[in-house]
Structure 1
Amino acid sequence: MNRSLCSTVTAVTGSRKQLGGVAFLLAQLGAHAANRFAERIGELGLTPVDVGLLRMIAVEPGRSQQSLAAELGVVPSRVTALIDPLDRAGLVERRRSKEDRRNYELHLTDKAGEVMAGIRQVATAHEGEICTALTDLQRTHLMGLLELIADQQGLTPGVHPGYRRP
């Protein structure tokens, strides 16, 4: 790296290690956090996609597969493929809607309630590990800044863009 660029990077970041912009650093940290979370959650026999779906159903019990598809921004058949393994594992129950018999309502089972407790423990440990270099105030400030960026970019809160991949 040339000396001028190195001095500029050091002056701006306090370090010569950060050779990239904010978007690169967000992508680098995002990939690291996602991979580490997948490893941790894998110990529970789950994938990050499973965790997201369980969380979304827990927040809105009885929601339809169609509403889940709309929130995720995917076709309903994709939701069916995502819910099927959770149904087979005894974590999600599909019940016919009383208002519209063509639709299914999604509910977590008692077994899923137990699994959710494990997920919360893993998520708390993961968040702590990722943010260990920050004070509580820095962590709160970073969260606020990231929320501003996500809002400006039109991202749906709580929905990972990875659901759109087949």
Structure 2
Amino acid sequence: MPPRTAPPRTAPPRTAFLLAQLGADAADRFAERVAELGLTPRDAGAIRVLGHTPGISQRELATRLGTTPSRIVPLLDSLEQRALVERSRSERDRRNYELSLTETGQALLAPLRVIAESHQRAVLAALTADEQVQLAGLLAKLSAGGGLSPDAHPGYAGAAGSSGA
């Protein structure tokens, strides 16, 4: 009789649900944390991207956040009204605006970083350091396999007024 081979291992049946459940919980908890700064997760995402890439266009910001340029306009209007972001005509292409953080917007980068780091520690608290590294690698692989961008979030693709995390 030939040796028995074990059947191929597959993920337990509720893995995708657990990922969605954990993602929703993490998004809700992040929204609560950034609300302390008077921000939505969408605001925080835009501020973070602009902090790393000042001078990008509205179109590029929309692409980085995974939404359309028409949906980014209300977000930028809100950030501009709160004196967090400023738009200026591009010297290279007068049809485009370049975006940058104001001093008030820049001042939010440090507390946002503290919130993000604290949030990450809280979400991953049940895992050892090695497990956190392993999970990060697996999630990056799943994200890349799904064609997801590291800056984009599915919540950004909806209406610009929503507070997707």
Task: In structure 2, list runs of 5 or more residues that go unmatched.
Answer: 1-9, 160-165
Query: C-alpha distance in 1, partners of 2:114/2:65?
Result: 25
* Root mean square deviation of aligned Cα: 1.8
* Match of residue 110 from structure 2: 117
Which of 84, 106, 112 is the equivalent residue of 1:91?
84
Aligned 8 A contact 2:47 2:101 in 1: yes
Deviation at 1:57, TM superposition (A): 1.2
Query: C-alpha distance in 1, partners of 2:152/2:70?
Result: 18
* Match of residue 16 from structure 2: 23
Structure with the higher fraction of residues in helix conformation = 1
Query: C-alpha distance in 1, partners of 2:96/2:77?
Result: 15
Query: C-alpha distance in 1, partners of 2:39/2:13?
Result: 33
Task: In structure 1, list runs of 5 or more residues that go unmatched.
Answer: 1-11, 14-18
* Match of residue 149 from structure 2: 156
**Partner secondary structure for residue 98 of structure 2:** strand
* Match of residue 60 from structure 1: 53
Percent identical pairs in the alignment equals 48
Per the normalisation by structure 2, the TM-score is 0.85
Per the normalisation by structure 1, the TM-score is 0.85
- Compare relative contact order (CA 8 Å, sep 6+) and give the higher one, 1 or 2: 2
Deviation at 1:20, TM superposition (A): 5.2
Which of 129, 136, 145 is the equivalent residue of 1:136?
129
Which of 25, 36, 40 is the equivalent residue of 1:43?
36
How many pairs are equivalent? Answer: 150
Range with greater deviation from structure 2 (70-79 or 104-113): 70-79
Deviation by residue 1:26-59 (Cα, 9 ceiling, x = unmatched)? 0010010000110111011000000111111112
**Partner secondary structure for residue 132 of structure 1:** coil
Aligned 8 A contact 2:87 2:97 in 1: yes
